[in-house]
Amino acid sequence: MLYELFTWLQSLHFPGAGVFQYISFRSAGALITALVVSMVFGKRIINYLRVKQVGESVRDLGLEGQMSKAGTPTMGGIIILAAILVPTLLLAKLGNIYILLMLLTTIWLGLLGFLDDYIKVFKKNKAGLAAKFKIVGQVILGLIIGLTMYFHQDVKLGEKILIRPGEITANDSVVASTNQDGLTYKYVTHRSATTTIPFLKNNEFNYRWLVGWMGGNESGHLVWIVFVLVVILILTFISNGANLTDGLDGLATGTSAIMGATLGILAYLSGNYELSHYLNIMYIPDSGELAVFVSAFIGATVGFLWYNSYPAQVFMGDTGSLALGGIIAVFAILIRKELFIPILCGVFIIENVSVIMQVGWFKYTRIRFGVGRRIFLMSPLHHHYQKKGYSEPKIVIRFLIIGLLLAVVTIATLKLR
């Protein structure tokens, strides 16, 4: 909104209005605004939740300090959602397809998580929204994101090519040019189901390869199905992984902030043709605008951490955790870095995998031996360490350190090939 206003003011030669054209300025503004919203208005929302007795219902699992959390206000994810949406709506280009997809993801998963929390708190149903309905909601969103990414005309990649006379046609969209060694190169945008593979020199992978064995025509018709399925799988897995990680004070919030900051760097580099050319990474026109959104995301999570750090004054609930994981997954997909997720989102993944391993092994051994056996003392993994006697703050800090190391490795993949 403010971007359109200041663009109009700039056309009138209003002094200083042109500063809103800089992504760096609007990103800084989004970060500050999100911090203000989450920290200033967050306290009021927490007090309101406390007055309305929107408290956490805790089941005794034999964990140290667990029962002391009973009654702590939950559904605090509302704070995170507001702190993301307000700065984005004010400072981002709302006509940008990437921003629209991120807004859709935030609202969609926020509402899905809110419904789950509402059933738990107000309907007194501890199970909340049935898991199958959560999955259906995530699958529908993944379907929308995947189809838009594949078919929308504004979702394109930039390819740097050497220009020779007559090589550029009227159907090509030339977005930038550069001179190197006396030769002229231009970036030509085109739609493609291509993504980035970490650690490889020629690190672009086309999903068409997965159906290439079917022949040229058939693979062209079916590649979108493969792409959409990958989007759905990643979105569902990471969103649920963030939900499982949200079991200790500040754990999901802190790791999400680290992941968000890393993705913000990647988005800014991918959306700048000079920097992407220098680093020899995929250039994605208009994706730099995502830096504004992710700045709001970082500000929202850091501001919420002010109240969510140990001992937590509020929990985000599924309202926040489902949205955080989904935002990170979709963001990575939009900037064609979804194959970086096993590195960057390692904490979410190991938490999710620990539950899958625990449940799977328990069911198998119960059928095979008549008695269910466990791999971990308790899952998700952070509860295993609680059972081993580690204090909650120590577990959180160590997980955050691991998350930070994984973020550094993710950034390092830009040059380590």
What's the pLDDT score for residue 59?
Answer: 65
> Count of CB atoms within 10 A of residue 18's CB?
14
- Per-position b or e across 181-204, b if 16+ CB within 10 A of its CB: eeeebbbbbeebbbbbebeeeebe
State the total domains in the chain. 1
| CA neighbours closer than 13 Å in the CB half-sphere of residue 156 | 14
> Count of CB atoms within 10 A of residue 153's CB?
7
The three-class DSSP label of residue 221 is helix
What's the pLDDT score for residue 213?
Answer: 65
Task: Give domain status of residue 392, yes or no.
Answer: yes
- pLDDT tens digit sequence for 258-281: 999 999 999 999 988 888 878 888
Task: Give domain status of residue 71, yes or no.
Answer: yes
Q: Which domain holds residue 285?
A: 23-156+191-412
Task: Give domain status of residue 331, yes or no.
Answer: yes
Here the tokens at position 140 are: 């529908």
Task: Give domain status of residue 255, yes or no.
Answer: yes
Neighbour-count burial of 135, counting CB atoms closer than 10 A to its CB (0-12 exposed, 13-18 middle, 19+ buried) = middle
Regions of the chain with pLDDT less than 70: 6, 8, 57-62, 64-66, 159-188, 213-220
CA distance 322 to 114: 9
Task: Give domain status of residue 178, yes or no.
Answer: no
What's the pLDDT score for residue 305?
Answer: 96
What's the pLDDT score for residue 364?
Answer: 94
- pLDDT tens digit sequence for 332-359: 999 999 999 999 999 999 999 999 999 9
Task: Give domain status of residue 170, yes or no.
Answer: no
Average pLDDT, the chain: 87
- pLDDT tens digit sequence for 120-157: 888 888 788 998 999 999 999 999 999 999 999 888 88
What's the pLDDT score for residue 171?
Answer: 45
pTM of the model: 0.90
Task: Give domain status of residue 174, yes or no.
Answer: no
